[in-house]
Structure formats: structure tokens, C-alpha cells
Amino acid sequence: MSDIHVLAVARLSPLFMPQLQAAFQLHDRLHETDPEALAAVAPRVRGIAASADSRVGAELIAQLPALEIISVMGVGYDGVAVAAAKSRGVVVTHTPEVLNDDVADLAIGLMLCAARQLPAADRHVRSGEWARSGAMPLARKMSGARLGLIGMGRIGQAIALRALAFGMSVAYTARNERAGLAYRFFPDARRLAEAVDYLVVITPGGAATRHLVNAEVLQALGQGAGRGILVNVARGSVVDEEALIHALERGVIAGAALDVFENEPHVPERLRALPHVVLAPHIGSATAQTRQAMADLAMANLLAHFSGRPLPSPVPECRPES
């Protein structure tokens, strides 16, 4: 396959790049660095290698007349113009399943950090404040609390399973109620937020879910006696960041724990200044084991396509009809 040309459209993982370089004629981000060079090679580019944060728009797809596949190393693909790809017969693949455990683990970790204020506790000791001022204010208990999940896909179900071990009740909202699940279903995010102590966002990004968590939902989350805590391990676009900051500053909700943001890696100073907010730099799948599995699956999709074999993990819109 060394004669097949593939365009990398992002700064790809060092676990993915060597595999691509060994198998294909790889062109690294020419669309950003050298448009003339891209124009010269465009008629031969048959594949795109992307990350979950990549932007692969209809314009770029139109520039590549020989394009056959877009392989995303990540579960999210909201930056890919899937409809434009499908109209050209270009298949899109991603890497689901392999990162379920890591993202679910992080969601539970962020919930604990927000509830027990673990980052603030660490700062309290390191700064010498413990010796100067004594104990921190009391935190809140997580075990036995009410968990609400916005999204009940593979990762949502993995989070729910972990929450049960903490004795939490689980409820959710999603596009449709999931058959066979014992968890309580709510028809929309606002009504779910009214009924829970922790609201975890784990739904796909994109236009359909943009600002799904808005001021109204945050107000509903804050109506309980203990006021709720928001956790986002999905996409920054799902939460109205300005509304969230406003709710936190006014004490509408008790706190938040965020792994994703609207304009990554830029996080608003007002959000960074809030002591009761836990912030992480989009590390949901960031373990060596999972990132290797993601790279291997992204590579397997490319190799399968160019060998004429069934694709391991096409995105839902590109799955063959059974």
C-alpha cells in the first residue's frame, strides 16, 4: 500500500503517525501549511487521517477528487462534514468502544473531585493554608446521591454501572428511551436536571446538541436543596459556557467539573478563576493503553478499506444496511 496517498489533517498522535508513515505516502497538514503542494498532490489523495478535533469540511473534501475514506482517531466526528462525504461516496470511520472505560473512569473521578473538592484540598495543603487557617469547609457526599446522564450510549452505560457501585440512583435523557435499561428515563434535559444531584453530559456534539445544557437546564439543576453539580465529558459545544459561568458566579449550581470547553484550548479566565470548578485539559481517553488502541483501530479502518475488507468501525451514518 506504499503507493496510496493519505493526508493527515491534524497533529496526529505519535502512536498513529509512525503506522501511517510506514504504510502510506503520508502528507502532513498540507491544507494548512502549503496549499500549492496540496493542489499538486490532491488528485492522488485517497484517504484522510484525522483526530476527533479535526475539521474536515465540505470544501476540503471537494478538493480531493480521489478521496475514498476519512479515518478519525477518536469517537467524536462532529468536525467532519459527513453528509458531504456520503454524497461523494466517501466513508467515514471512528474509534468507539476502546475508550469507554477511560472516559467513564474520568467522569466518576471528576464527580468525586467536585464533590469532595480534591484539587482545592491539595492546594490547601501545598500552600500552607492548612497550618495557617485550619480545616477546609465541609464538602458533600457522593455515595447514595442521584445521578443524571445526558446521553445513554456505550460510555453513558459504563458511567451508570460505576455509579451503581457508589449506591447512586441513575436516570437519563436521550433522543429515545433505551429498551432493556432499568434506569429512569426523562424526555428532556431540563426535567432530568430537576431530579438529580449530579448531571453528567455524555452526548455527541454537533448542531443537534449545541447548547443543550443552557441557562434553563442549569437553573433546574440548582433547584435542589444541595444545588447540583455539572460534569461535562462530552463536547464543549453541548454546554452554553457563558450561561454556565453566570450560574456558577451567582451560586445557582454548587459547582462543575469539566474536561471539555467551547474553544479549546482556550478556557475563559472567569471560569478558571472559580475555586469550586474542577478543570481538566480534555483527557477523557488520555491513557497510553487506550490511545494505542485508538491508533490501532484508526489504522485498521484504513487498511481494511484499501484491502477491500469490511470496515471495523464506520460511523453510524456510513454503516452498510443489513
| Digit-coded pLDDT (tens) for 151-205 | 999 999 999 999 999 999 999 999 999 999 999 999 999 999 999 999 999 999 9
| Per-residue cell: 233 | 465529558
Has residue 321 got a pLDDT over 80?
no
Q: Which amino acid is at 66?
A: A
316 preceded by a cis bond (ω within 30 of 0): no
- Give the pLDDT band (50/70/90) at residue 283: very high
- Give the pLDDT band (50/70/90) at residue 224: confident
Helices (H), 3-90: 17-23, 30-33, 35-41, 58-62, 82-87
User: How much of the chain, in percent, has pLDDT values that exceed 90?
Assistant: 97
At 124-152, the pLDDT tens digits run 999 999 999 999 999 999 999 999 999 99
The pLDDT value given to residue 21: 97
CA distances from 59 to 8, 80, 81, 85, 87 (A): 16, 11, 9, 11, 13
The pLDDT value given to residue 43: 98
Within 125-280, strands assigned E span 146-150, 169-173, 184-185, 198-201, 229-232, 255-258, 277-279
Q: What is the mean pLDDT of residues 84-88?
A: 97
Has residue 322 got a pLDDT over 80?
no
**Burial level of 142, CB count in 10 A (0-12/13-18/19+)?**
buried
| Per-residue cell: 184 | 429512569
The pLDDT value given to residue 128: 98
| Per-residue cell: 167 | 449506591
Cα-based angle 13, 35, 79 (whole degrees, multiple of 5) = 50
> 264, 282 in Cβ contact below 8 A?
yes
Helices (H), 250-287: 269-272
Beta bridge mates, 5: 25, 45
Q: Which amino acid is at 169?
A: S
CA 69 to centroid of chain Cα atoms: 22
- Tracing cell 478556557 back to the chain, one arrives at 267
At 59-74, the pLDDT tens digits run 999 999 999 999 999 9
Has residue 1 got a pLDDT over 90?
no
Has residue 218 got a pLDDT over 60?
yes
Instruction: Please name each of the domains of the chain with its CATH number.
Output: 5-96+289-318 (3.40.50.720), 100-279 (3.40.50.720)
The pLDDT value given to residue 226: 77
Phi, psi of 218 (to 5 degrees): -65, -40
Q: What is the mean pLDDT of residues 276-285?
A: 97
The pLDDT value given to residue 7: 98
Has residue 103 got a pLDDT over 70?
yes
Where residue 167 falls (left for φ over 0; alpha for ψ -120 to 50; beta otherwise) is left
Active centre residues (catalytic) = 235, 264, 282
DSSP 65: T
Mean pLDDT of the chain: 96
Of 233, 319, 313, nearest to 72 by C-alpha is 313
Count the neighbouring beta carbons within 10 Å of the beta carbon of residue 110.
25
- Give the pLDDT band (50/70/90) at residue 55: very high
The pLDDT value given to residue 225: 73
Helices (H), the chain: 17-23, 30-33, 35-41, 58-62, 82-87, 100-116, 118-126, 129-133, 154-165, 189-194, 215-221, 241-249, 269-272, 288-307
The residues, ordered by sequence, that sit 6+ positions from 265 with a Cβ below 8 Å of its Cβ are 281, 282
